[in-house]
Amino acid sequence: MTSHPFGQERPLHPETKTILVGASSGIGAALLQELVRRGHRVAALARRGDLLEENCRQANAAAGMQRAVAYEHDVTDFGTVPALFEQITADLGGLDLIIYVAGVQPPVAAHEYDFAKDHEMVQVNLLGAMAWLNEAASRFTHVRHGQIAALGSVSGDRGRVAFPGYHTSKGALAIYLESLRNRLSRRGVTVTTVKPGFVDTRLLANAAKTFWVISPEEAARQIADAIEARKQVVYVPGRWRWVSLIIQLIPSFIFRRLSI
C-alpha cells in the first residue's frame, strides 16, 4: 500500500499522471527513473516493496521532489485491482497514462510441458494486464482521454519452439491490445504495444542465445519516446521490426524445421 502520498500539484507545471505496473527491477525500474525525469508523477507497482521504495527514493532525489510513490501489489490478486486502481487515481489526482510492464519467463527445457509455469505466465503476462488495463480503458473511454501501453515481446509474434507458454502469453497480449486500440482510438485514446528484443535484465538468464542486447536504460528511453510520440506498435530497438517481419513471412512447413 501507499508509503507516502504525492505532493500538491503545481498548476503551472502539470505532470503526466502515470501508473507503472512492474517497476521494481529491469525495464520497469529504468522506466520509472526515465518517466520521473521527464516530469511524470508515477504510481509504481510490484511485489518487492523494498526495491520499489528504493527506486522511488532515487527517482525523487534526482527530481528534487516527490513524484514517485510505491504501491506493493501482486498482479495475480485480481480481485484487489479495482479498489487499488481507484485509490491510486485518487492519490495521483487523475490518470493520463498506464504502462503494464510486469512479466515472468521461468526457464523451460526443450521437452518440458509444465502447466504450473504456463499458468503463472498467463496470469502475470496476460490476465494481470487485462485486470489493470480494463480499469484504465473503462475510465479513459468515459473521459475520452488517456494512453495505455504494455510490454509484449518480439517473441510473441510467432509460435516458436523455446517457450510455448511465454510466446502464447505475449501473442495473446498483443491481440488484446489491438482490440483495445480498435475500440479506444475513436475515443481519443492511444494504445501502444511495445515489443522489445533482448534487454539486459534478469529475464535474459533463461534465454538460450542472445544478440543485439541493449541496457534497460536504453530500452526505457526508447519506450518513453514511443509513448510520447503516441506510437501504436513499436519494436525496441526498431531493427527488430524487420527481423520479426522475416520470421512472420517464413512458411509454416519451413518454420517447424527451424529451431527458432
Ligand X SMILES: NC(=O)c1ccc[n+]([C@@H]2O[C@H](COP(=O)([O-])OP(=O)(O)OC[C@H]3O[C@@H](n4cnc5c(N)ncnc54)[C@H](OP(=O)(O)O)[C@@H]3O)[C@@H](O)[C@H]2O)c1
Note whether 165 binds ligand X by CB under 6 A: no
- For cell 511465454, the residue is 166
Q: Count of CB atoms within 10 A of residue 65's CB?
A: 15
Using CB under 6 A as the binding rule, whether residue 28 contacts ligand X is answered as yes
Rounded Cα gap, residues 130 and 132, in angstroms: 6
3-state helix, strand, coil in the chain (%, to 5): 50, 15, 35
In the complex, minimum distance from the CB of residue 193 to ligand X, in angstroms, rounded to a whole number? 11
Does 61 contact ligand X by CB under 6 A? no
Spell out a b/e string for 169-202, using b for 16 or more CB atoms within 10 Å of the CB, else e: bbbbbbebbeebbeebeeeebbbbbbbbbbbbbe
Of 12-20, 53-61, 74-82, 86-94, the window that binds ligand X (rule: CB under 6 A) is 74-82
| One of 192, 201, 222, 244 touching ligand X (CB under 6 A) | 201
Q: Indicate which single residue of 111, 186, 202, 257 sits in contact with ligand X (rule: CB under 6 A).
A: 202
Asked if 187 interacts with ligand X (CB under 6 A), we say no
Neighbours of 8 (CB within 10 A): 8
Our finding on whether 22 is near ligand X (CB under 6 A) is yes
Q: Residue 26, interface with ligand X (CB under 6 A)?
A: yes
Query: Do residues 40 and 99 touch, judged by C-beta distance below 8 A?
Result: no
Note whether 47 and 73 are within 8 A (CB). Answer: yes
Q: Is 25 in the site for ligand X (CB under 6 A)?
A: yes
In whole angstroms, how close is the CB of 170 to ligand X at the nearest point?
7
* Residue span binding ligand X (CB under 6 A) among the ranges 18-26, 62-70, 136-144, 243-251: 18-26
Residues within the interface to ligand X (CB under 6 A): 22-28, 46-48, 73-76, 101-105, 124, 151, 153, 196, 198-199, 201-204
